[in-house]
Amino acid sequence: MEEEKKGFFSRLVAGLEKTRHAVVSGLDDLFNGPGEIDDTFYEELEEVLISGDMGVRTTEMILEDLREQVKAEHRKERASCRELLIQNLKERMDLGENAYAFEQKKSVLLLVGVNGVGKTTTAGKLASKLRKEGKSVLLAGADTFRAAAVEQLKEWAFRASAELVSSKEGGDPAAVVFDACNAAKARNTDILICDTAGRLHNKKNLMEELKKINRVIDRELPGYVRETLLVLDGTTGQNALEQAREFKEICELSGIVLTKLDGSAKGGIAVAIQAELQIPVKFIGIGEGIDDLRRFHSGEFVDALFAKEEA
């Protein structure tokens, strides 16, 4: 277990290497640099944070807090700001108590996001995780747009030992969800996970389809806890923030899954999403394997972001 934890942490450290180079080495130069904590210091800090994809508004919020703390505690040393910043980021990204309450209840998870971000993979990983915890899991293949989509989900259902409800390519996604909801009711399923399409004929279609799916779930499974997770590719930077804004308009997003953090991820985006849109990052993907999904821990994430190179 310890071994596994260590392996995971070093992968996260490796995945965040790009951000660390862009942001943290810049920050360390700044914190170790000569001079007082003055306006130039804050301006440079702002630049480094924005360049690390933290977003303009998040950066402003972080700086405001920092200025206040520095003033209140009469800090003079630049170096002492490093700890303050780390603490600030951890608090800003902390999830609150009930982030994973849905796992212990009868719940419906809807995975949404643009194409290729990792929705189907995440559906499979989540199904496997919950199955291992003894839950009964039903996967719904509501991506009927792509020919290979059902096959892909079928394979994941098999690997995760979860059940599957799907239809042929070209079928009605909301009808698949309808069938899945009724199967879940009939079988007393603990958790229903719906995989959706990332692309339809156009964006408007996609959004309308999601609305329809939402209505079906509300109507068919009113007693289940609703969890809508937006899947975002951790390597896309500011564009992910834009995607989150768009999906937030039509779905009640309860969390984010940030995938591909094992690649050359832009870690700052996790901070920006949480701080600007108030949507917590709940899970992170750190590989293509079935066990490569973890709950998000702000402390661990920020530590990985700020890890020294020898870590």
Q: Which of 286, 302, 304, 305 binds ligand GTP (CB under 6 A)?
A: 286
Taking the least distance from each CB to ligand GTP, the nearer of 77 and 288 is 288
The answer to whether residue 166 forms part of the interface with Mg ion (CB under 5 A) is no
265: nearest Cα among 12, 2, 57, 1: 12
| Nearer CB in complex with ligand GTP: 125/131 | 125
Chosen from Mg ion, ligand GTP, none, partner binding at 141 (C-beta under 5 to 8 Å by type): none
Q: Does 120 bind Mg ion (CB under 5 A)?
A: yes
- Residue 122 as a binder of Mg ion (CB under 5 A): the answer is no
Span from 27-35, 118-126, 264-272, 302-310 in contact with ligand GTP (CB under 6 A)? 118-126
Q: Using the rule CB under 6 A, is 118 a contact of ligand GTP?
A: yes
- Judged by CB under 6 A, the residue of 26, 52, 55, 113 near ligand GTP is 113
Give the residue with the Cβ less far from Mg ion, 119 or 131: 119
What does residue 289 show for φ and ψ, rounded to 5 degrees?
-75, 165
Contact pick of 43, 155, 252, 288 for ligand GTP (by CB under 6 A): 288
Mark the segment that binds ligand GTP (CB under 6 A) among 82-90, 111-119, 186-194, 299-307.
Answer: 111-119
- Contacts with ligand GTP in 251-280 (CB under 6 A)? 259-260, 262-263
**Residue 118 interacting entry, from Mg ion, ligand GTP, none, C-beta within 5 to 8 Å by type:** ligand GTP
Which residues from 145-164 bind ligand GTP, rule CB under 6 A? Answer: 149
Site residues for ligand GTP, 209-248, by CB under 6 A, read 231
Q: Is 104 one of the binding residues for ligand GTP (CB under 6 A)?
A: no
Contact 169, 136 (CB under 8 A): no
* Separation CA 68–CA 237 (nearest Å): 29
> Rule CB under 6 A: is residue 141 a binding residue for ligand GTP?
no
Output the smallest distance, CB 125 to ligand GTP, in A: 8
Contact footprint for Mg ion (CB under 5 A): 119-120
Contact footprint for ligand GTP (CB under 6 A): 113, 115-121, 143, 149, 198, 231, 259-260, 262-263, 285-288, 292
